[in-house]
Structure formats: C-alpha cells, structure tokens
Amino acid sequence: MRRAQRSRQETLSLRRQLIGSSCKLFYPNDPLKIVKARGQYMYDENGRQYLDCINNVAHVGHCHPDVVKAAHEQNQLLNTNSRYLHDNLTDYAERLSEKLPDKLCTFYFLNSGSEANDLALRMARQFTKHEDVIVLDHAYHGHLTSLIDISPYKFRNLGGQKEWVHVAPVPDTYRGLYREDHEDPVTAYANEVKNIIKQAHKKGRKIAAFFAESLPSVGGQILPPEGYFQKVAEHVHKAGGVFVADEIQVGFGRVGKHFWAFQLQGEDFIPDIVTMGKPIGNGHPIACVATTKEIAEAFAATGVEYFNTFGGNPVSCAIGLAVLDVIEKEQLQVHATEVGNFFMKLLMEQKIKHPLIGDVRGSGLFIGVDLIKDQAKRTPATEEAEYLIIRLKEEYILLSTDGPGRNVLKFKPPMCFTMEDAKFVVDTIDKLLTDMEKEHLNQEKTSTGST
C-alpha cells in the first residue's frame, strides 16, 4: 500500500535528522520539494511548475519517454554484470566510437563521473609510469579521495595541495591572468603549464597527466581560447604525460557546434583519454572512459583485472543507447546551437543595458553570465548574484551560480530548452535587474539627502 506523501516540512525535518549535514540543499532557507519532472520542467508537491535551467544531468529532458521505456523493457529481461556476453554493451561501445576520433577506440563503463576520472588517473599513471598531475585552478573532478586531491575547488578547504599535484591558471580571458587585451593569451596560458613542468622536473618529479574539463564549469563557465589545449598537449606529451579531457558536464552535443566540447579547440586536437558521465544516462548512473589501444594495453599489462559490477550492465547500456537515439532523432545538437545563439543574443543585449553584467560567454547550451560590481575592476558581484538566484526561484526559474566568486550565473539546462524558455528567462532577469538598479538608485538618493 502506498504511503501518503509527507508535507514539505516533515520531509525537511526527517532529512535534517537522517541525512548528513554536509549534503546541502538548493535554496537552504526555503528548500523546494520536487516530486515530478518532465522535459525542462520540475514540479513541487503543490503542482507548481519550475523551469529548470541548470540540470545538465537530465540531458535530453527529465523522464524522457524513450529513455524510460528502454530502461523498463530491459529491466524486464535481464540485468547482470558484464562478464557475460550481451549485445547492449558492444552496441553502445560501437555507437560511442562513431562519435569519437578513431584513436579513441577502447571503452570502459562505470557508474559515475567520479569513477571515470579515478580510472583515467590510474590509466595515466600506469601508462606513463609517472605520478604527478597538472590541473586547472578551481577545477572539480569528483568526490573520491583521489579526485579531491586533484580538485583545487575542494582540496583548498580540506587537506591542502599534495606534492604531486600542480595547479595551472584557468585560461580565462575575462578575469584571468591573461585577458582579452593580451597579444597572445593562448601561448601565455600554455607557457604557464610549460613552466610548471619545468619546475616539477627540477624537483625530480615527472608528469603523468594534465587533467582538464573541456569547458571549466566550477571555474566559472569558462571557454578556453582555441588552440590552448593543443599547445598544452605538446608540452605535456614532451614531458611523457597524457592529456585527459573531462567531458562529464559538457559532452554529448551540449556545445552545439560539436558533439564533444574538446572539439571546440579545433580538429587537430585529440585527447589521450576522455571521461564521460552525468548526461550519458539522462539521470541513470552510467559513465565511461574512452582511450587509445596503447593506453588500454598498458593498463592491462599489470595482470590485474578491471571489473565493475554494475558498469556496462544491460540496463545501463540500453539507457545509454536510448539517449544517443534521442539526441539524433530530435536533432538536439542543432537545437542547442540555435537556442544557444538566440539565448546569447538576448543576454548580450542585457549586458549593454545593465552594468551589473560584465561578461556573457558560452557555446550552445553551456552559458555563463559574469556579474560584477564595477566595470573597471571586474569585482565579483557575489551578493547580487545570490539575491538574483533567490528572486528567480520566486519567478519559477531554477538557476545557480558558480565561479570562484560565486558570481557567475550558470546555464546548463536540459537540451529540450526552447527559445520561448530563453526569452522568458531573459525577460525575467531584465525585470529583476531593473528593479535592483532602481532600488540601488533610491538608496543612493536617500543617503545623499541624509548627509
């Protein structure tokens, strides 16, 4: 017999009692209780509809019927580990191989992006026989101990930086070390990596891998300048290391122009290892590592079997295949380009209108809006961004912030997000920013009058 639904307050009380306090909620002062979702919308216990602008996990849309059907049908037949032959595993690997450069032709299936990045780290070390890793500042690669160690976003608040970890500046041309007015930011940022390698060698250390999100997300929705990865890969390969592209948040057509975000760097760039997660299963826990035959063979040379009980099971692979089918059938990559371009155009118009918006950047349905206190210093407008997020929720729009200053509005909605949705969001932001500016002006007048 189905139990009656608890009230929001009862659920919140039980959560506080039973769930670890470090497991945070969105909108902690007034959390939402979401009970249903469909497409780009989520619904609370009272049936109120919210536009989801951040859930890149539900890649082709919440509860997409084709994905739900694929899971249900396979669940009724079989779900077991990959030590038995099953067509779903090989069919899925074959379909993914068609989306990747020929060099990346060997696959390992897992349950989460964290597992994928941990495996990539193990592979890199086995292949190179080196230990050290170079990562970008503010990066986040997962919650396993090995990945906290290579995630500045996390380790700076925990045990600190390990001796074998080296942090390179984020290639951010808006607020980074080398900005849009620099004569050659690509070379300048790549030379930072080159210098890190040089300093590591002086200490007798050797580089196993350069790890990077193809588009740094936690770092503030950053688009590295084209050509940066090529130059970095040249330095890393010369040092005997490999290049790992973390596509966990940004792969599978999100950037519109290409299926993979690393392809924004140009056709001449191919990583040595690619990791995938989140959107790969549209909310179902599945992840993948794709690599070269050489790296895979070196990993196998240990004689130690790689086995993952649930990785690559028939249900997960059926879901993965369904997600690829939907992306193709609904032309979601083209859709991301068209809607993303329209969205960016509207946001750029707001940038001209509102001085609080310092930068609008993105590709496809990966977009960041950098809020600033002043145009010259580009000081992060953290409080204003937080206030805007809360007000947007009151207007039934779900959004969050990222970046070191928590001032970048991050847009990574389900790929079915429409032009009408984009217009609704931008019109609402326009209204809220206009109200904020009027309030600020009134406060200034009151302050001036009182003196």
Q: Rounded to an integer, what distance in angstroms lies between the CA atom of residue 39 and that of residue 48? A: 15
Residues 6+ apart with CB under 8 A from 101: 270
pLDDT at position 319 is: 98
Among residues 371, 376, 375, 429, which one has the least CA distance to residue 402?
371
Instruction: Report helix, strand or coil for 242.
Output: strand
Helix (H, G, I), strand (E, B) or coil at 349: helix
DSSP 100: S
> 């101990």: which residue's tokens?
145
Q: With a cut of 80, say whether residue 447 has pLDDT above it.
A: no
34-38 and 41-44 strand pairing:
antiparallel
Question: What span, in angstroms and rounded, lies between the C-alpha atoms of 427 and 424?
Answer: 5
> How are the residues of the chain apportioned to helix, strand and coil, as percentages rounded to the nearest 5?
40, 15, 40
Tens of pLDDT, residues 21-66: 999 999 999 999 999 999 999 999 999 999 999 999 999 999 999 9
Choose the weakest-confidence range: 142-151, 180-189, 319-328: 142-151
| Average pLDDT estimate for 405-426 | 98
Residue 261, pLDDT above cutoff 90: yes
Mean pLDDT of 202-220: 96
Task: Answer whether residue 2 shows pLDDT above 70.
Answer: no
Mean pLDDT for 87-109 is 98
Listed in order, strand segments (DSSP E) in 48-143 are 49-52, 106-110, 132-136
What was the pLDDT predicted at 233?
98
Q: Tell me the C-alpha distance between 369 and 220, whole Å.
A: 9
Domains and CATH numbers, the chain: 8-63+332-447 (3.90.1150.10), 65-329 (3.40.640.10)
When the pLDDT of each residue in the chain is averaged and rounded to a whole number, the result is: 95
Q: Which of 271, 275, 243 is nearest to 109 (CA)?
A: 275
* pLDDT (0 to 100) of residue 3: 74
Tokens of 114: 């964290």
- Say what the pLDDT of residue 332 is: 98
Which whole number is the average pLDDT over 84-95? 97
Banded pLDDT at 445 (limits 50, 70, 90): confident
Instruction: Please state whether the predicted TM-score (pTM) of the whole model is above 0.85.
Output: yes
Tokens representing 285 are 């826990």
pLDDT for position 450: 53
Residue 441, pLDDT score:
77
